[in-house]
Amino acid sequence: EARIEEYKRLMDQKIALRRNNQNPERPDANYLRTLDSSIKRNTTVIKKLKTINDEQKDGLMDELKSVNLSKFVSEAVSYICEAKLRSADIQAAVQVCSLLHQRYKDFSPCLIQGLLKVFVPGKSGDDLDTDKNSRAMKKRSTLKLLIELYFVGIVEDASIFVNIIKDLTSLEHLKDREATQTNLSLLSSFVRQGRLFIGLRSHGHESYDEFFKDLNVTADQKKFFKKALNSYYDAVSELLQSENASLRLMEAENAKVLSAKGELSDENTASYEKLRKSFDQLLRGVSSLAEAIDLQPPVMPDDGNTTRVTTGTDVTPSSGKEPSVLEPIWDDDDTKTFYESLPDLRAFVPAVLLGEAEQKLNEQHAKGREQSSESNAEQE
């Protein structure tokens, strides 16, 4: 029930933002001149665009309304593009971008151009940012933001997604396992968030179908998305079958070695674990994509003759029923710390509420009785 209400709230918010973004009543130059145009003040405000979240959104929007950013639009865009957005921050970013879109005509073209750089090979900070996981997360958050900006009318042409999906589904990337894992995650996320792009309806939310129909994704574009995703799924499924065959062959060979020698060499163990981990990750990614595009997850052939060779380490067994989660559990280190580093309640909650005060009192009484007994015994 709560999730349905939250979905309705977000959809109503999208509808309102789209209406205002499509027909913005932008303030004229005379009005903007009455606002603070100083370099110092504008620089202070736009730097805050690098950290957009729900908690700071309202204050940030008030500050943006108080300044004249006419000469600082490109700087504002660069900070937004640099922002490390978590999934929970996307809606706040959409509202901030909508405000700037409704005030400055050149904001949206500049923003879209800046965000798309993340998906251009060699232009996404690859040379500067050596952390591949960080780049993958940046692509994921940027794609989510672009889709939401499309929903609210800031991105007006769905063709920008054609180029993104064309690159993500390129079979060239299958040669690079890390790129394949990243692309599977991005494609699954793309379909879940934008089912309309491939002509799929939103499960259980038919009341908003009219909104999605008005988004003007052409029949040709839907056809392209569907064909690209299905072709990619077929190709990556073939890769999965091939890797499964390699894994089973290695398991059979390892079983022979174990039977003959009783143990595997460190080299064989490491090779097996590497291939097994690679296969399990690929299976999760492919299953996740299958689920997103409403296909049955792949089932690996099993002749019943080969069993998994355990090597003393706990590795998740592969199964078509595995959770189709390819993405990291936490969006960032702060979220991880929040959930994993639990505070000591005794430092914040009065002892009486935890029952400790009573326990200590009882201990003191017991101790007092013991001392009294000892004293009486000595007197006797």
Task: Set out the domains of the chain in order of their start, with CATH numbers.
Answer: 2-156 (1.25.40.180)
15-24, 94-103, 130-139, 205-214 — most confident range: 94-103
Of the listed ranges 169-183, 196-210, 280-294, the one predicted with least confidence: 196-210
Instruction: Give the pLDDT confidence score for residue 359 in this predicted structure.
Output: 59
Bigger pLDDT: 298 vs 143: 143
Instruction: Give the pLDDT confidence score for residue 320 in this predicted structure.
Output: 40
pLDDT by residue (tens digit) across 284-331?
Answer: 999 999 999 988 888 877 655 444 554 444 444 444 433 333 444 445
pLDDT by residue (tens digit) across 15-47?
Answer: 999 999 998 999 999 999 999 999 999 999 999
Instruction: Give the pLDDT confidence score for residue 339 in this predicted structure.
Output: 46
- By the 8 A CB rule, do 214 and 156 touch? no
Using the structure block, give the residue that is written with the tokens 């700087």.
75
In this predicted structure, the answer to whether residue 246 has a pLDDT above a threshold of 50 is yes
In this predicted structure, the answer to whether residue 144 has a pLDDT above a threshold of 90 is yes
Instruction: Give the pLDDT confidence score for residue 325 in this predicted structure.
Output: 38
Instruction: Give the pLDDT confidence score for residue 296 in this predicted structure.
Output: 86
Instruction: Give the pLDDT confidence score for residue 5 in this predicted structure.
Output: 85
pLDDT band at 109; cut points 50, 70, 90: very high
pLDDT band at 120; cut points 50, 70, 90: confident
pTM: 0.76
In this predicted structure, the answer to whether residue 152 has a pLDDT above a threshold of 80 is yes
**Dihedral sign (CA 254, 255, 256, 259):** positive
- By the 8 A CB rule, do 198 and 222 touch? yes
Instruction: Give the pLDDT confidence score for residue 329 in this predicted structure.
Output: 42
Query: What average pLDDT score do residues 79-92 get?
Result: 94
Average pLDDT, the chain: 82
pLDDT by residue (tens digit) across 215-237?
Answer: 888 999 999 999 999 999 999 99
